[in-house]
Amino acid sequence: MAHTHLKEKYCDVILISPPARRYSPYPPFGLLYLSSFLEENGISTRIIHSTMELGNTTLYLAHRFIRRSEKNAFFCRVIIEEILARRPCLVGLSCYTVEYHWTIEMARQIKERTGVLIVVGGVHATLKPEDFIFKGSPVDYVVLGEGETPLAKLAHSIKDGHGPTGIENIAYLSADGSPVIGVCNVERDIMSFPQPDYQKIDMRYFSKPSTRHIRNILLSGVEIFTSRGCPYNCEFCASNYLQQNSGNVPRVRYRDVNMVIEELKYLAREHGIDGFYIQDDCFLLSRERVTEFCEKLVHTGLNLVWGAETRVNLVNDQSLLQLMRKSGLLQLDFGVESGSQAMLDGIGKGITVEQIKRAFDLCKRSGIRTFANIMLNLPHEREKDIMLTEQLLDEIRPTMISVMLTVPLLGTRIYEKYVTPKFTMSEYDIYNKNVFSEISDKRFLLADHDMDFKRLSKHFQVRYNKMAGKSRLSALYWKKIGRSRHLLMYLLIIFLSPIDIVIGIFMRFDSSTLNNFFRRTAQRLLGASEHSNNRNNSAIMVGEDCLGGEDNEKRTQ
pLDDT tens digits, one per residue of 441-455: 999 999 999 999 999
Residue 509, CA distances (Å) to 65, 461, 505 in order: 16, 27, 7
Phi, psi of 227 (to 5 degrees): -155, 170
pLDDT over 50 (residue 555): no
Contact 33, 201 (CB under 8 A): no
Residue pLDDT, tens place only, 112-147: 999 999 999 999 999 999 999 999 999 999 999 999
Tell me if 544 is assigned to some domain.
no
Number of H helices, E strands in the chain: 19, 17
The domain tally of the chain equals: 3
Same domain, 228 and 105: no
CA atoms of 227 and 279, how far apart (whole Å): 9
CA atoms of 213 and 495, how far apart (whole Å): 20
Same domain, 461 and 504: no
Contact partners, residue 295, CB within 8 Å, separation at least 6: 323, 327
pLDDT over 70 (residue 104): yes
Residue 428 belongs to domain with CATH number = 3.80.30.20
Phi, psi of 118 (to 5 degrees): -125, 130
pLDDT over 50 (residue 416): yes
Q: Where are the beta strands (DSSP E) in 348-480?
A: 369-376, 400-405
DSSP notation for 307-365: EEEE-GGG---HHHHHHHHHTTEEEEEEEEE-S-HHHHHHTT----HHHHHHHHHHHHH
pTM of the model: 0.87
pLDDT over 50 (residue 159): yes
Tell me if 547 is assigned to some domain.
no
Residue 31 belongs to domain with CATH number = 3.40.50.280
Phi, psi of 47 (to 5 degrees): -120, 130
The boundaries of the domain holding residue 379 are 209-485
Tell me if 342 is assigned to some domain.
yes
pLDDT at 165: 86
Phi, psi of 13 (to 5 degrees): -135, 135
Return the amino acid letter for 225.
F
pLDDT at 545: 33
Same domain, 380 and 235: yes
pLDDT at 534: 43
pLDDT over 90 (residue 557): no
- Of residues 100, 187, 223, 328, the one with CA closest to residue 554: 223
What H or E segment, with its residue span, contains residue 79? helix 68-86
Same domain, 431 and 500: no
Same domain, 18 and 158: yes
pLDDT over 70 (residue 62): no
Residue pLDDT, tens place only, 472-489: 788 999 999 999 999 999
pLDDT at 66: 58
Helix 353-365 crosses helix 383-396 at what angle (to 10 degrees)?
20
Helix 57-65 crosses helix 68-86 at what angle (to 10 degrees)?
150
* pLDDT greater at residue 523 or residue 75: 75
Same domain, 438 and 502: no
Same domain, 168 and 246: no
| pLDDT > 70 in the chain, percent | 81
515-521, long-range: CB within 8 Å, 24+ apart, which pairs? 515/65, 518/61, 518/64, 518/65, 519/65, 519/66, 519/67, 521/61, 521/65
pLDDT over 90 (residue 415): yes
Tell me if 120 is assigned to some domain.
yes
CA atoms of 488 and 372, how far apart (whole Å): 32
Residue pLDDT, tens place only, 2-28: 333 334 578 999 999 887 777 778 899
Same domain, 478 and 497: no
Question: 37 by DSSP, 3-state: which?
Answer: helix
pLDDT at 75: 72
DSSP-assigned letter for residue 145: B
- Of residues 553, 532, 534, the one with CA closest to residue 49: 534
Tell me if 406 is assigned to some domain.
yes
Tell me if 1 is assigned to some domain.
no
Helix 475-482 crosses helix 487-507 at what angle (to 10 degrees)?
90
Contact 264, 276 (CB under 8 A): yes
- Of residues 416, 436, 462, the one with CA closest to residue 235: 416
Same domain, 174 and 282: no
53-57, 221-225, 383-387: least confident range:
53-57
pLDDT over 90 (residue 259): yes
Residue pLDDT, tens place only, 244-257: 766 788 889 999 99
* Intra-chain end-to-end CA distance of the chain, in Å: 28
CA atoms of 532 and 59, how far apart (whole Å): 12
Same domain, 443 and 366: yes
Residue pLDDT, tens place only, 376-412: 999 999 999 999 999 999 999 999 999 999 999 999 9
Number of residues that make up the chain: 557
Tell me if 229 is assigned to some domain.
yes
Question: How many CB atoms lie under 10 A from the CB of residue 209?
Answer: 20
pLDDT at 527: 55
pLDDT at 79: 87
Same domain, 233 and 137: no
Same domain, 181 and 265: no
How confident is the prediction for the chain on average, in pLDDT? 86
Tell me if 325 is assigned to some domain.
yes
